[in-house]
A and B are shown apart, each in its own frame.
Chain A
C-alpha cells in the first residue's frame, strides 16, 4: 500500500494555502464528480430527460423560474429518480467512509464492512425484522444491533497478542460472517414462502430500486449520525491508525475512541443495509482508490471516500437500470466489478499483506 500513497505536496505544508490544496481541493473535485454523475443519472433511463431540463427542474425547487416543463419530466426526476439517486449516494457514501474508518481502526487497508462480518450481522438483523414483520424502525434497529454484535465478535477474536495480524482479522471475519449467514439461511427457511420470503430474498440481493423519499429518510438518519461522528473524529482517527501503543504514548485512550469509531461505522452500515440489503466491495475498493489519490490523512480521506463512494454507487445503479431491458441487481454488479479490482490489489501487494503490517 505504501508505494501507491503519495502526498499532495512535497514541501513542508504550513499555512492556509496548503490546507486548501490538501483538504478542500480534493473534496471539491470529488464533489464535482458526484454532481456530474448525479445529473447524468437523473437524465438517463427509459424516459430520457435532457440534462438542461434536469438542472432546471432541480433549480426550480429552490428558485422558481423559466417556462414550465412537462409534468411527466418533473415527476420522473423528482419522484422516481431523485430518491433513488439520493439513496445510492447515502448507501455508497456510508459503505465507503465506513470502510475507510475500519481500515484505520484495524490498521489494515484490506478490511471492509463485509470482510469483517458487519454486513452479515446487519443482514441477519434486518432479515429477522422482516420475518417478524416489525416495520422500518425494527429493520434499522435490528440491522444496527446485529451489525454491532458482529463487529464486537470480530474485535474479541482479534484483540490481544498477535490478534491484529491480517490473518486473524480475516479469519475472525469469515467465522463471524458464516455464523450470521447460517442464521440468515435459518430465517429464510422459516419465512412464509408466499409473503415474507420474497421480501427477504429481494432485500438481501442488494438494490436501491425500491427507493422512496421515506426510505431516503430512514437511511439518512443513522448514516448522517454516524458520518458526523466519523468526520468529527477525523484527526483522532489518524492518531488511532498508528496503533494502540503510539496512541497511548501520545496521550489518547485508544479503547473508547475505537469503540466510538466502530459504533459509528456499525450505525452507518446498518442504515445502508436496512434500505438496500447487502452491497459488497464498495467499502473496500473506494477507500483504497481514494487513498491512492489523496494519501492516508483521514481529514481528506474520509470526506473524499464518502463523495466518491456515493458517485460510484450512483454510476453503478444507473448502469444496472439502463444496460438491459430488465434490471441487474446492484449487489451483483458491484461484486462483478469489485472482485477483479480486489484481485489486482492482492496481486500487487502480495508481499505486504501477510507480514502482519
Chain B
C-alpha cells in the first residue's frame, strides 16, 4: 500500500514538478504514471519510493518500497545471482555478508521472475530485457510487497516488453502493489487500475478507463492519439494508436 497526500516536490521554490498531488495504490493494484519526456515521471516515482523526500504533504508506505531503476549495465561484472542477493542488503548488518537464507531468498525471487537459469551469468553480458528482470528479482528478493518501477519497458524489444508486462501482472495477482512509470499508454491500458497523467497543464489522477481516452491522451502528449477497439479472434481488445501523418493533410 502506497499513499500520497497533498504531496509536492520542486527542484526550486518557484518551479514545482508536482504540487498538491494525492493518490493511493491499494494492494493488488497497479497505478501507471504517464507523461511526455521531462514531465517529472521519474521524480514522482523516486519520491514515491523514498529516494527523494517530498517538500510538501506526505508519502505513506505500508512497508519499504522495492525500487526498480532503469537497467543501464554496471561497472563491475557481478553474476546475476549476486546482483539479486544485493536486494537483501537492508536485512543484512553493516559488517555482515549474506548467508544461505539470503541466497535462498534470492534464488526464489529469480525463480518467480523466471530467470533462475541466469543465476551464474554475468550481469553486463545479459540482454536489456534480462537485466530488467534481474533488477525486478532484486526488488522482490528484498521481501517488499510494494514495488516502484521506473520505465521498466523502456529500451526493450517487443518480446521482452510482453515478458515484463506479463510478469508485472502476475505479481499484482499475488496481491502486490505496483507504481509503474511508462512511455507506452498501451502498457498502462494493459496493466493499470488507475493512472497519473503528468501534463504541462498539471497532474490528473483517476481510474484508468476514463482517463486513457482520446481527448486526455491527445492533450497529454500534444499529438493526436486515438484509442481503438478491435477484435482479437473473438476477444474484444483496446489499443492506443497515433495516426502518423494525419495532421499533415
Is A241's CB within 8 Å of the partner chain B? Answer: yes
Contact partner of A107 among B75, B77, B86, B138, CB < 8 A?
B75
Residue among B78, B79, B142 making CB contact with A250, cutoff 8 Å: B142
Asked if residues B82 and A233 are in contact (CB atoms below 8 Å), the reply is no
Determine the chain A residues whose CB is within 8 A of the CB of B139 once the complex forms: 249
Asked if B69 and A251 sit within 8 Å, CB to CB, the answer is: no
**B73 and A357 within 8 A (CB):** yes
Residues of B within 8 A of A248 (CB): 51
B147 → chain A closest CB, angstroms: 11
**What's the interface size class on B, roughly?**
35 or more
* Contact residues, B67-87 vs A (CB, 8 A): 67-69, 73-79, 81-82, 86-87
Contacts of B107 in A (CB 8 A): 12, 14
Q: Find chain B residues with CB under 8 A from A232 CB.
A: 94-95
Q: What separation, in Å, do the CA atoms of A271 and B142 have in the docked complex? A: 39
Among candidates A239, A241, A297, residue contacting B75 with C-beta atoms closer than 8 Å: A241
A109 at the interface (CB under 8 A from B): yes
A-B interface contact total, Cβ < 8 Å: 97
Q: Closest A-chain residue to B88, C-beta based?
A: A250
Which A315-340 residues have C-beta < 8 A from chain B? none
As a 0/1 sequence over residues 228 to 260 of chain A, the CB contacts with chain B under 8 angstroms (1 = contact) are: 000011111011011101111111100000000
A252 surroundings in chain B (CB, below 8 A): 89-90
Given A15-B100, A245-B69, A250-B90, CB of A9 within 8 Å of CB of B78? no
Q: Are B67 and A14 in contact (CB under 8 A)?
A: no
Give per-residue flags for A1-26: 1 if the beta carbon is below 8 A from chain B beta carbons, else 0. Answer: 11001010111111100000000000
Q: A104 at interface (Cβ–Cβ under 8 A)? A: yes
Given contacts A7-B79, A232-B95, A233-B94, contact A249 B74 (CB under 8 A): no
Residues of B contacting A1 with CB < 8 Å? 75-77
Q: Which residue of A lies closest to B98 (CB)?
A: A235
**Contact A104 B76, beta carbon cutoff 8 Å:** yes
In the bound complex, CA of A295 to CA of B120 (Å): 12
Shortest beta-carbon distance from B116 to chain A in Å: 7
Confirm or deny: B124 has a beta carbon within 8 angstroms of a beta carbon on chain A.
yes
Is A11 a contact partner of B120 (Cβ separation < 8 A)? yes
| Beta-carbon contacts under 8 Å, A82-100 to B | none
Tell whether A81 is near chain B: CB-to-CB under 8 Å: no
Known: A1-B77, A12-B116, A250-B142. A235 touches B92 (CB 8 A): yes
Interface residue? A299 (CB, 8 A):
yes
Is the CB–CB distance between A251 and B64 below 8 Å?
yes
Q: Which of A217-236 contact B (CB under 8 A)?
A: 232-236
A236 to B51, CA, bound (A): 19
A305 beta carbon closer than 8 Å to chain B:
no
* Cβ contact of B96, chosen from A11, A15, A235, A296, cutoff 8 A: A235
Instruction: State A157–B49 Cα separation when bound (angstroms).
Output: 29
- A100 CB, min distance to chain B CBs, angstroms: 11
Residues of A within 8 A of B76 (CB): 1, 5, 104, 107, 109, 241, 291, 296
Report how far A40 CA is from B228 CA in the complex, Å.
80
Q: Is the CB of B89 within 8 A of A109?
A: no
A108 on the B face (CB < 8 A): yes
Shortest beta-carbon contacts, A-B, top 10: A251-B90, A296-B76, A249-B67, A12-B119, A235-B97, A250-B89, A5-B77, A232-B95, A10-B120, A107-B75
A interface vs B, CB < 8 Å? 1-2, 5, 7, 9-15, 104, 107-109, 232-236, 238-239, 241-243, 245-252, 291, 295-297, 299, 357
Q: A1-B77, A14-B107, A295-B78 are in contact. List 4 more A-B contacts (CB 8 A).
A: A12-B116, A109-B75, A241-B76, A297-B78
Interface pairs (18), CB distance under 8 Å: A2-B125, A5-B77, A11-B120, A13-B79, A13-B119, A14-B104, A238-B86, A241-B75, A243-B75, A249-B68, A249-B69, A249-B139, A250-B86, A252-B89, A291-B76, A296-B77, A296-B78, A357-B73
